[in-house]
């Protein structure tokens, strides 16, 4: 299988030099691809092979990932550091040609949260939204129902303290082994997809992408603070996992309130997603319920976050408020449908592009 061709650009925006992958003619139909946590723009490569050449694809490395200039993440702004960076890139003429371009925006995992924030803050710049296995509009962890009700007042169990320390260290060491479940390669195989065979010849390329993650309190995973509630830590104010904590990230009501005309939303997910689900293996409440984190106080005190149900409820409200959304679920697929079912994913994306451009 031959590798598709990305062009690489260095673009300065918001006093930060971004590494951006592009493909297609600069005056082509604009599509913005926003990657997720512990990955980079290169993680879109399996999808590139299945998209038509007339599209103008722009895939930036977010701050703290890939080859973009290092910069801290202020978690108190939720995912706005990332969304503001992306918004500034939209105006770069070398990316889309037209500084007023309105791309279809595709966000994977954490990138789905960034895409939601972009839509909330810049609704006229988004023509259509494809959310691929997105984190909940109420953030990651720490909420107990479809309304996003906090489990504890300090959102205990979310943020930087929720990361596996061995995984963090191996990520910092750029470990390419597979001798532990906490190796980045093992995590990628177990958590990013349902079947590791779906990586095919791209496994090393995608592992390269994961290993570009910048480790530290200002990036991944971030800092934490002590808590009187189980499991003993609460989110801090710096870094990626805190930026996704519901303490700082909650766009549910703002998403519903996006003014008309609301762009259509396509939500694509896998039914065996281990990261974003109602029984997520990255949610400490669910791991406690499974007996994998000691001291869990029980279902009534600390239920797993209903991530999928929350997203469905918010998007239903979005539709009731004048928008529209469609949910596509792939059977036997995990957290990365564009890797596991790239041709089908590409067809859905092209259909969305056709819907909003004709």
pLDDT tens per residue across span 309-345: 999 999 999 999 999 999 999 999 999 999 999 999 9
> H/E/C letters for each residue in the chain?
CCCCCCEEEEEEECCEEEEEEEECCCCCEEEEEECCCCCCHHHHHHHHCCCCCCEEEEEECCCCCCCCCCCCCEHHHCCHHHHHHHHHHHCCHHHHCCCCCCCEEEEECHHHHHHHHHHHHCHHHCCEEEEECCCCCCCCCCECCCCCCECCCCCCCCCHHHCCHHHHHHHHCCCCCCCCCCCHHHHHHHHHCCCHHHHHHHHHHHHHHHCCCCEECCCEECCEEECCCCCCEEECCECHHHHHCCCCCCCHHHHHCCCCCCCCEEEEEECCCCCCCCCCCCCHHHHHHCCCCCCCCCCCCCCCCCHHHHHHHHHHHHHHCCCCEEEEEECCCCCCHHHHCHHHHHHHHHHHHHHHHC
Tell me the mean pLDDT in the region 47-52: 96
Tell me the mean pLDDT in the region 173-186: 97
pLDDT category at 5 given cuts 50, 70, 90 is: confident
- Domain total of the chain: 1
* 230 within a domain of the structure (yes/no): no
* 237 within a domain of the structure (yes/no): no
* 83 within a domain of the structure (yes/no): yes
Note the pLDDT tens digit of each residue in 55-112.
999 999 999 999 999 999 999 999 999 999 999 999 999 999 998 999 999 999 999 9
% of the chain surpassing 70 pLDDT: 99
* 207 within a domain of the structure (yes/no): no
CA distances from 58 to 19, 90, 203 (A): 11, 9, 22
Q: What pLDDT sits at residue 4?
A: 59
pLDDT at 190 over 70: yes
CATH number at residue 86: 3.40.50.1820
pLDDT category at 38 given cuts 50, 70, 90 is: very high
* 48 within a domain of the structure (yes/no): yes
pLDDT at 137 over 60: yes
Query: Do β-strands 16-23 and 7-13 pair in parallel, antiparallel, or remain unpaired?
Result: antiparallel
Domain that holds residue 269: 7-152+244-357
Q: What pLDDT sits at residue 64?
A: 97
* 229 within a domain of the structure (yes/no): no
Tell me the mean pLDDT in the region 197-214: 97
pLDDT category at 1 given cuts 50, 70, 90 is: very low
| Residue bearing the bigger pLDDT, 3 or 68 | 68
Tell me the mean pLDDT in the region 222-229: 98
Note the pLDDT tens digit of each residue in 263-308.
999 999 999 999 999 999 999 999 999 999 999 999 999 999 999 9
Note the pLDDT tens digit of each residue in 142-174.
999 999 999 999 999 999 999 999 999 999 999
Q: What pLDDT sits at residue 3?
A: 57
Q: What pLDDT sits at residue 358?
A: 85
* 11 within a domain of the structure (yes/no): yes
* 268 within a domain of the structure (yes/no): yes
pLDDT at 19 over 70: yes
Geometric angle at alpha carbon 7, from 82 and 96, rounded to 5°: 60
């Amino acid at each position: 299988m031959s590798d598709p061709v990305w062009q690489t650009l260095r673009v300065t925006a918001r006093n930060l030099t971004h590494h951006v992958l592009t493909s297609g003619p600069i005056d082509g139909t604009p599509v913005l691809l926003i990657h997720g946590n512990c990955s980079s723009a290169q993680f879109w490569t399996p999808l590139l092979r299945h998209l038509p050449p007339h599209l103008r694809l722009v895939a930036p490395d977010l701050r703290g990932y890939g080859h973009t200039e290092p910069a801290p993440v202020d978690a108190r702004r939720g995912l706005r550091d990332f969304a503001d960076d992306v918004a500034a890139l939209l105006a770069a003429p070398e990316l889309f040609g037209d500084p007023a371009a309105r791309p279809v925006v595709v966000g994977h995992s954490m990138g789905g949260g960034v895409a939601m924030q972009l839509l909330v803050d810049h609704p006229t710049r988004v023509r259509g939204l494809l959310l691929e296995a997105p984190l909940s509009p109420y953030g990651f962890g720490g909420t107990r129902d479809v309304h996003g009700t906090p489990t504890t007042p300090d959102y205990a169990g979310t943020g930087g303290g929720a990361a596996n320390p061995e995984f963090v260290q191996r990520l910092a060491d750029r470990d390419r082994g597979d001798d532990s479940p906490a190796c980045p390669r093992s995590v990628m195989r177990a958590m990013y997809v349902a079947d590791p065979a779906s990586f095919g010849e791209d496994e090393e390329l995608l592992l390269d992408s994961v290993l570009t993650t910048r480790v530290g309190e200002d990036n991944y995973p971030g800092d934490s603070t002590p808590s009187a509630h189980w499991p003993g830590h609460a989110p801090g104010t710096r870094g990626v996992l805190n930026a996704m904590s519901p303490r700082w990230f909650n766009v549910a009501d703002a998403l519903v309130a996006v003014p008309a005309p609301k762009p259509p939303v396509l939500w694509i997910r896998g039914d065996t997603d281990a990261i974003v689900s109602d029984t997520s293996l990255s949610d400490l409440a669910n791991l406690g319920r499974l007996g994998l984190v000691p001291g869990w106080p029980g279902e009534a005190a600390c239920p797993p976050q209903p991530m999928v149900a929350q997203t469905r409820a918010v998007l239903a409200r979005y539709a009731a408020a004048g928008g529209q959304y469609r949910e596509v679920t792939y059977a036997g697929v995990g957290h990365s449908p564009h890797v596991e079912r790239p041709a089908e994913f590409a067809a859905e994306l092209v259909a969305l592009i056709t819907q909003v451009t004709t």
